[in-house]
């Protein structure tokens, strides 16, 4: 039995066929149903002429169909392509063309965009549509698109096949600092890594052999311990929602519950925790945690409080999760463990664990054994030296970027015989060996001869009472070169002026780091997964200036 997501999930389906695997609203699929439906979709893919390494695009919102289609792609050794559902015509065409997509599975509400690009995709052989109503401008049909449920019903399950650990898994990056790129991994290494992370979460020793997985999962599910139920609040099209909220817990036999709202609805999250007795919730830093804290305090819209007693952990990655907000969550959900993972599409670098009575610091992470911080000359930063270096993630390093050898060579490098990924994060190493994350080098602001890391200033701004969210950017300035500018949103009903924000930041940080101006907006620009959209924030700041 090979280490491969499809093979592992098949063994779990055989071990606990009658237990629920995936849930969306009132639709629940057992592991047997999940496996059967994915096998039927896999047969449809192969019948259309697709095979190993064929790229199949998933232009879908969160839901059972996303997980069934992705599992189907794994089954037939294809490569799923995650497509941002916010992409419009040209962005969508670029990604489908760049990925060499031969099939697409999409929601009907996005059909108008698909219809506008399919004629420009000569490699496309199959289109499958999930019915969620018409596109905003009215009903839009994509010629030849087959209804998802018809495809499932009209095909027999594909026979299980042998797979290989060196099959390709690909995750497209968001493209906030350039055009999206597909980060390629070997499926085997990724599967093994996720199993090593997933089993301890449910209190199990990781298996020494993949043939043990089914029996270990069955024993855990049939024990007296609460079964793991995971809610990914972030989109499955992004790494945080997909890897942390879905892949890792599913490798340990968890039930995955997706939300119906297509943007964060904190009250839906809390009600779903109560209804499904969720044990794990995946969020994206302060941008998700703050609204959840506020919704807990508000209580149920009809009155009463939410029962959150089932929660064992919140997991986050991708965006700063400040100590103050973590403590606010622990004051309301005392039994929860908060796991803050430092990572990106290109690799995992460290974690921070917070629990009641455990002191932590913002952006300070326990360094993974395979993580290093290097100077520009490829020598290691000395712990406790206050030197700033580039974080390098070792271990299961990606193969490279799809069809971009130049960027692959710059990002994935070998030092002293060891291959590392350099996602672009700058950090210091404390005397005790922990990582002090400073931010992405591409976002550093050079102002008056000094360097300012936006994340540090953002954290200080968000500590101002009444401020909900903030991004900090550099705006071209004749005197300073770049002027530190804060783009901030406020808590509903709050009244805060720029002078108050600037004075508060100067109380916490050196004066040159404080914003020269503060732009107040209704919503700070972020992607659906909560990640900062610095490009849009800079546009807003420049327009205001």
Average pLDDT over residues 451-477: 92
Among the ranges given (105-114, 422-431, 448-457, 519-528), the one the predictor scored with the smallest mean pLDDT: 448-457
The pTM of this model reads 0.88
Residue 373 has pLDDT above 90, yes or no: yes
Percent of the chain with pLDDT over 70: 99
68 within some domain: yes
Q: Are residues 151 and 80 in the same domain?
A: yes
Q: What does the block give as tokens for 524?
A: 């700070």
CB 349 within 8 A of CB 374: no
Q: What span, in angstroms and rounded, lies between the C-alpha atoms of 193 and 64?
A: 24
By C-alpha distance, which of 248, 271, 267 is closest to 317? 248
Q: Which residue among 227, 248, 263 closes a domain?
A: 263
CATH number (domain holding residue 103): 3.40.50.980
337 within some domain: no
Q: Are residues 427 and 451 in the same domain?
A: no
What pLDDT does residue 506 have?
93
Q: Are residues 455 and 394 in the same domain?
A: no
By C-alpha distance, which of 304, 296, 197 is closest to 254? 197
What pLDDT does residue 339 have?
93
Question: What is the per-residue burial (b if ≥16 Cβ within 10 Å, else e) of 345-371?
Answer: bbbbbbbbebeeeeebebbbbebbebb
10 within some domain: yes
Q: Which residue among 231, 263, 295 closes a domain?
A: 263
**Mean pLDDT, the chain, integer:** 93
Strands 425-429 and 435-440: antiparallel
344-363 pLDDT, tens digit per residue, is 777 777 889 999 988 788 87
Q: Are residues 91 and 228 in the same domain?
A: yes
315 within some domain: no
By C-alpha distance, which of 270, 213, 317 is closest to 5? 213
300 within some domain: no
Q: Are residues 18 and 57 in the same domain?
A: yes
Q: Is 294 exposed, middle or buried (0-12, 13-18, 19+ CB in 10 A)?
A: middle
296-325 pLDDT, tens digit per residue, is 999 999 999 999 999 999 999 878 898 999
CB 253 within 8 A of CB 274: no
Q: Are residues 508 and 412 in the same domain?
A: no
CATH number (domain holding residue 378): 2.30.38.10
Q: Are residues 204 and 72 in the same domain?
A: yes
Q: Which residue among 263, 293, 317 closes a domain?
A: 263
Q: Which residue has better confidence, 378 or 451?
A: 378
For the chain, the domain total comes to 3
Q: Are residues 165 and 256 in the same domain?
A: yes
Q: What span, in angstroms and rounded, lies between the C-alpha atoms of 295 and 332?
A: 11
Average pLDDT over residues 105-130: 96
In the structure, what pLDDT confidence band is assigned to residue 176 with cuts at 50, 70 and 90? very low
Average pLDDT over residues 32-45: 98
What pLDDT does residue 312 have?
96
What pLDDT does residue 487 have?
97
Secondary structure class of 422 (helix, strand, coil): coil
Among the ranges given (343-357, 383-397, 453-467, 525-539), the one the predictor scored with the smallest mean pLDDT: 343-357
Domain hosting 527: range is: 444-544
41 within some domain: yes
Q: Are residues 84 and 180 in the same domain?
A: yes
Q: Are residues 119 and 227 in the same domain?
A: yes
* Sequential DSSP letters for 199-263: HHHTT-PPPSSGGGHHHHHHHHHTSSSPPPEEEE-S-TTSHIIIIIIIIHHHTTT-EEEE-S-SS
Q: What span, in angstroms and rounded, lies between the C-alpha atoms of 203 and 351?
A: 19
336 within some domain: no
256 within some domain: yes
Q: Are residues 74 and 203 in the same domain?
A: yes
What pLDDT does residue 365 have?
87
In the structure, what pLDDT confidence band is assigned to residue 177 with cuts at 50, 70 and 90? very low
Q: Are residues 381 and 525 in the same domain?
A: no
By C-alpha distance, which of 9, 19, 12 is closest to 42? 9
Q: What span, in angstroms and rounded, lies between the C-alpha atoms of 51 and 45?
A: 8
Q: What does the block give as tokens for 469?
A: 């969210």
Backbone angles phi, psi at 190, to 5 degrees: -70, -45
381-430 pLDDT, tens digit per residue, is 999 998 999 999 998 999 999 999 999 999 999 999 999 999 888 999 99
Residue 496 has pLDDT above 60, yes or no: yes
Backbone angles phi, psi at 14, to 5 degrees: -70, -30
Residue 178 has pLDDT above 70, yes or no: no
By C-alpha distance, which of 512, 515, 455, 460 is closest to 485? 515
- Residue 192 C-alpha from the chain's centroid: 19
């Amino acid at each position: 039995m090979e280490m491969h997501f499809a093979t592992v999930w098949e063994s779990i389906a055989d071990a606990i066929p009658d237990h629920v695997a995936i849930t969306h609203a009132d639709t629940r699929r057992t592991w047997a149903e999940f496996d059967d439906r994915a096998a039927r979709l896999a047969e449809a893919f192969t019948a259309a002429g697709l095979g190993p390494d064929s790229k199949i695009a998933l232009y879908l919102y969160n839901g059972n169909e996303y997980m069934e289609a992705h599992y189907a792609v794994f089954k037939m050794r294809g490569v799923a392509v995650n497509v941002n559902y916010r992409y419009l015509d040209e962005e969508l065409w670029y990604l489908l063309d760049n990925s060499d997509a031969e099939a697409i599975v999409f929601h009907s509400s996005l059909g108008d965009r698909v219809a506008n690009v399919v004629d420009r995709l000569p490699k496309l052989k199959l289109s499958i549509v999930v019915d969620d109503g018409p596109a905003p401008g009215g009903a839009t049909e994509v010629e030849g698109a087959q209804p998802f449920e018809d495809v499932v019903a009209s095909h027999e399950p594909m026979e299980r096949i042998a797979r290989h650990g060196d099959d390709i898994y690909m995750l497209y990056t968001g493209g906030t600092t350039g055009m999206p790129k597909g980060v390629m991994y070997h499926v085997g290494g990724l599967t093994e890594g996720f199993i090593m992370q997933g089993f301890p979460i449910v209190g199990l020793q990781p298996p020494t052999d993949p043939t043990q997985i089914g029996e270990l999962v069955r024993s855990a599910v049939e024990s007296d311990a609460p079964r793991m139920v995971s809610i990914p609040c972030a989109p499955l099209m992004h790494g945080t929602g997909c890897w942390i909220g879905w892949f890792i817990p599913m490798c340990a036999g968890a039930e995955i519950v997706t939300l119906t709202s297509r943007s964060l609805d904190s009250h839906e999250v809390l009600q779903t925790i109560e209804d499904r007795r969720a044990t794990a919730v995946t969020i994206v830093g302060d941008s998700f945690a703050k609204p959840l804290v506020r919704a807990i305090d508000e209580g149920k819209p009809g009155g009463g409080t939410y029962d959150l007693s089932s929660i064992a952990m919140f997991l986050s990655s991708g965006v700063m999760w400040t100590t103050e907000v973590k403590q606010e969550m622990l004051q309301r959900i005392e039994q929860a463990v908060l796991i803050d993972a430092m990572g990106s599409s290109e690799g995992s670098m460290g974690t921070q664990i917070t629990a009641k009575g455990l002191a932590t610091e913002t952006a300070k992470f326990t360094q993974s054994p395979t993580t290093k911080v290097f100077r520009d000359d490829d020598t290691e930063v000395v712990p406790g030296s206050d030197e700033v270096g580039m974080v390098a993630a070792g271990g299961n390093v990606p193969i490279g970027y799809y069809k971009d050898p130049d960027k692959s060579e710059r990002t994935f490098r070998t030092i002293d015989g060891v291959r590392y990924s350099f996602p672009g994060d700058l950090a210091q190493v404390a005397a005790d060996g922990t990582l002090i994350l400073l931010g992405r080098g591409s976002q550093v602001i050079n102002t008056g001869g000094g360097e300012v890391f936006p994340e540090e200033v953002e954290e200080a701004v968000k500590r101002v009472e009444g401020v909900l969210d903030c991004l900090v950017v550099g705006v071209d300035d004749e005197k300073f070169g770049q002027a530190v500018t804060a783009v901030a949103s406020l808590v509903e009903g709050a009244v805060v002026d720029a002078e108050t924000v600037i004075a508060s930041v100067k109380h916490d940080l050196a004066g040159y780091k404080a914003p020269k101006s503060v732009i107040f907006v209704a919503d700070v620009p972020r992607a659906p997964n909560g990640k900062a959209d610095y490009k849009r924030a800079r546009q807003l700041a420049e327009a205001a200036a």
